[in-house]
Each structure stands twice: as structure tokens, then as C-alpha cells.
């Protein structure tokens, strides 16, 4: 019997896939990666076995997820299409990495995933498998079976006595320690406002505290290492920040994004702590990086975000961009103070031992370091091409012999 390792989430898709794969003659081993789903993992092993899996691995990779996937993306400043903090995108390669490791341990010939043929996740899972274990075969039930909707999927599950979520609450969700995403139901109409009951990690900004909260985030080499003067490990740092920012309604976005497969998709995301960290990191870079590096890094950030979104975590270009990011982050150390208030997150102060901000140069008062007369020569040289073009146009484009 051929053995397959299934990336198992405990949700409707992957629960249905266990009997589907068994009926195709596979010995199914489930692999659930703990990336910070919290209560979603309760009873997941028992559920997988009850659905027909011969084994179920539950792998704790929360800290690895943050240190090896989230923090590098944060240091790059990568945000897809300016608003999506890549919460689902960079969770897929760490899950697929462990899927491959379990497949090798169990001597499986195949791996399987629950991603649909319409989405990005199929690409993210499969590119990671191809990069780490090109010899493994990939089974993607959504691209093979006759099921075409969640209703049909639920009917399939019920016929086989499998536990499924109530239909009325069946948003398609993905959660980890960084974020939670919401798709489906009323969100399929981009003109429809999300229902308040949908949100999980954040308070309604209207109901958030009337007094703002302040938080100080400390970075070393572009990596967050502490809050309010206390050094913290990655999981504790983000968990605390999630609770604080979520209580103040920070981190909600409602967007229509461009999927890799070519269609537009509407999704709502909650990224409370991550929103604060991105704001703080970008603000710290504003005083630690010189102008040219800062401007070029923003171009790199956009391309980096595309690579992560497209599932190209393990590709030569991303490896090269990582080297560039690492070089830029050597001096990005310091503290940023932020104000959280009714859904907003605003840096209000920043300091760094590597700050390029020189008060004696920037002051509006009397200064002894800057000679304002030097500006005239600079402007003359900087503006020389403009002046030459203007003179040529004034002469009607004729050259003077």
C-alpha cells in the first residue's frame, strides 16, 4: 500500500481528504503543524485518527515559524500589495518543510495537501516540496475529485460520519500566531461589509478603550527582542503584543488582492501584533538607514513580498535578497514608542545608537555645523541639466555653434 503524508489542519477540507485518500488505496499519515493556532489544535490527533489516518504527528514549530520565516519577512519590510502582512503565505513553507521531514521519516512516497485549485496555497506547498524533496509525488485532491463546493464537501463528510463545523459559521479561516484570515460567506461580495461576529483577534475599534495605550518595541539588527524595556523570546513577545494591539482594535484589514493564479480575491485579515511590529520597524529604519539604502530597500521589499506570496521561499532570488536585507539590518537597532488608539497605530518616538539624525544639522535654531552658503553651489550643479534643457528650449532647440 502506497503511503501518503497529508498536511492536516483539522478543518473540513483535510478531514474529508483522509477517507478520500484511503478509498484510493493510500495509507494516510496526518501531519499537523502547530504554528500558533491555539484552540484549533485541541483534539486534532484524535480527530485525524477517527477520520481514518493510521498515524498523526503534531509538530510544534511556533518558534521556528517566527524566527526563520516571520522575522526575516519583517526585516525585509515585505507587505504584499501594501496591505497584506503575508500571514498565510509564509506559514505554508514551514508547514511543507515539516511535511517533507515526516514523509522521509515514514518512508512515504507521496505528500498531500488540502489547498484548492483556485488558490495560492497549492503553489506554496508544492514549490517547497519541490525545493526540499523533488523525488516526492504530490497529491492534490481538490484538483482531482468531483467535489466542487463546500456544500458538497460537507455532504461527503456527513455521509461518512465525520464531524464538520456548523454551516452558518463556515468562514474559510486560516490562523497562526501572526494572524487570522477570513474568506467566504458575505465576503464573496466585495460590496458587502463584514459582519462584526467574523472578527476574532481584535476588538471593534468603536468599543476599544477611550484611553490610548503606549508600547515601546526594542529591535536588534532589525529583529524585535523586547517590549517596554523587558527582553522577551519571540513567542512571548508576539503573544503579548497581539493581546495589547487586539484590545485596541489594531490590525484589521479588508482587501481585494491579486492571487497568483490570476483572479482577484476578497479577504479580511487580523494581524494585531504584526501591524505594530511593521510600523515600528519601518520607523526605526527611517533614522538608521541612509537615504539611498532606505529608498532601494523599499523596492526590494515589494519584490520580496511577491516572492513570499507566490510561494517562492526557497528560490535563488529570495536567497540573494536575504543577503541584501541582512546587510541593511546591521545598524537597525533601537527602540520605537507607539501609540495605539481605537484601531490606529502610530509611532510617536524613536531612538537608536546608530541614528543618522543629527540634531545640530536638523535644528531650526542656530547651528555651527552646517554652512547654508554651501547650498548655492549644490543647487547650481544639481540643477544644471534642468537649466541646460530650458536654455535649449528657449532657443527653439537650435544648437549654438
Residue 305 Cα distances to 10, 183, 302, 333, angstroms: 28, 21, 5, 23
The answer for residues whose C-beta is within 8 angstroms of residue 315's C-beta and 6 or more apart is 127, 131, 307
CA gap 5, 3 in Å, rounded: 7
Catalytic site includes residue 92 = yes
CA gap 320, 75 in Å, rounded: 14
Q: 195 in helix, strand or coil? A: coil
DSSP 8-class letter at 66: I
CA gap 32, 67 in Å, rounded: 19
The answer to whether 225 touches 218, Cβ cutoff 8 Å, is yes
| DSSP codes of every residue in 141-181 | GGGTSS--SHHHHHHHHHHTT-----GGG--EEEE-SS-EE
Catalytic site includes residue 228 = no
Catalytic site includes residue 172 = yes
Query: Which of 172, 265, 344, 355 is an active site residue?
Result: 172
Query: Which of 34, 121, 174, 283 is an active site residue?
Result: 121
Query: Which of 92, 173, 252, 350 is an active site residue?
Result: 92
Catalytic site includes residue 13 = yes
- Give the residue numbers annotated as catalytic, written as ranges: 13, 92, 121, 172
Amino acid at each position: 500500500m502506497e503511503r501518503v503524508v497529508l498536511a492536516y489542519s483539522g478543518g473540513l477540507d483535510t478531514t474529508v481528504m483522509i477517507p478520500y485518500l484511503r478509498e484510493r488505496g493510500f495509507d494516510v499519515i496526518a501531519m499537523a503543524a502547530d504554528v500558533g493556532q491555539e484552540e484549533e489544535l485541541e483534539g486534532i490527533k484524535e480527530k485525524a485518527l477517527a477520520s481514518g489516518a493510521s498515524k498523526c504527528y503534531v509538530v510544534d514549530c511556533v518558534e521556528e515559524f517566527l524566527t526563520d520565516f516571520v522575522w526575516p519577512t519583517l526585516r525585509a519590510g515585505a507587505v504584499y500589495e501594501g496591505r497584506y502582512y503575508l500571514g498565510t503565505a509564509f506559514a505554508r513553507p514551514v508547514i511543507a518543510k515539516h511535511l517533507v521531514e515526516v514523509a522521509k521519516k515514514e518512508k512515504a512516497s507521496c505528500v498531500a495537501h488540502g489547498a484548492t485549485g483556485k488558490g495560492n496555497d497549492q503553489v506554496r506547498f508544492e514549490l517547497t516540496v519541490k525545493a526540499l524533496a523533488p523525488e516526492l509525488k504530490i497529491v492534490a485532491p481538490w484538483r482531482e475529485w468531483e467535489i466542487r463546493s463546500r456544500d458538497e464537501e460537507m455532504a461527503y463528510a456527513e455521509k461518512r460520519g465525520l464531524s464538520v463545523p456548523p454551516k452558518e459559521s463556515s468562514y474559510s479561516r486560516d490562523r497562526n500566531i501572526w494572524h487570522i484570515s477570513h474568506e467566504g460567506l458575505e465576503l464573496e461580495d466585495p460590496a458587502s461589509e463584514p459582519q462584526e461576529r467574523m472578527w476574532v483577534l481584535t476588538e471593534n475599534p468603536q468599543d476599544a478603550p477611550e484611553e490610548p495605550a503606549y508600547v515601546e518595541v526594542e529591535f536588534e539588527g532589525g529583529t524585535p527582542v523586547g517590549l517596554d524595556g523587558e527582553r522577551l523570546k519571540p513567542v512571548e513577545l508576539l503573544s503579548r503584543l497581539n493581546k495589547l494591539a487586539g484590545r485596541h482594535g489594531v490590525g484589521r484589514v479588508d482587501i481585494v488582492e491579486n492571487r497568483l493564479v490570476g483572479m482577484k480575491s476578497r479577504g479580511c485579515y487580523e494581524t494585531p501584533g504584526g501591524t505594530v511590529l511593521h510600523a515600528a520597524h519601518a520607523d526605526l529604519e527611517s533614522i538608521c538607514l541612509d537615504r539611498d539604502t532606505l529608498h532601494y530597500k523599499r523596492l526590494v521589499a515589494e519584490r520580496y513580498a511577491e516572492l513570499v506570496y507566490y510561494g517562492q521561499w526557497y528560490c535563488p532570488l529570495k536567497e540573494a535578497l536575504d543577503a541584501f536585507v541582512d546587510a541593511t539590518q546591521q545598524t537597525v537597532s533601537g527602540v520605537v514608542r507607539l501609540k495605539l488608539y481605537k484601531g490606529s497605530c502610530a509611532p510617536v518616538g524613536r531612538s537608536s545608537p546608530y541614528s543618522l539624525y543629527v540634531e545640530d544639522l536638523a535644528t531650526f535654531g542656530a547651528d555651527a555645523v552646517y554652512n547654508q552658503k554651501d547650498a548655492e553651489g549644490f543647487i547650481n550643479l544639481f540643477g544644471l541639466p534642468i537649466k541646460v534643457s530650458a536654455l535649449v528650449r528657449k532657443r527653439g532647440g537650435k544648437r549654438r555653434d
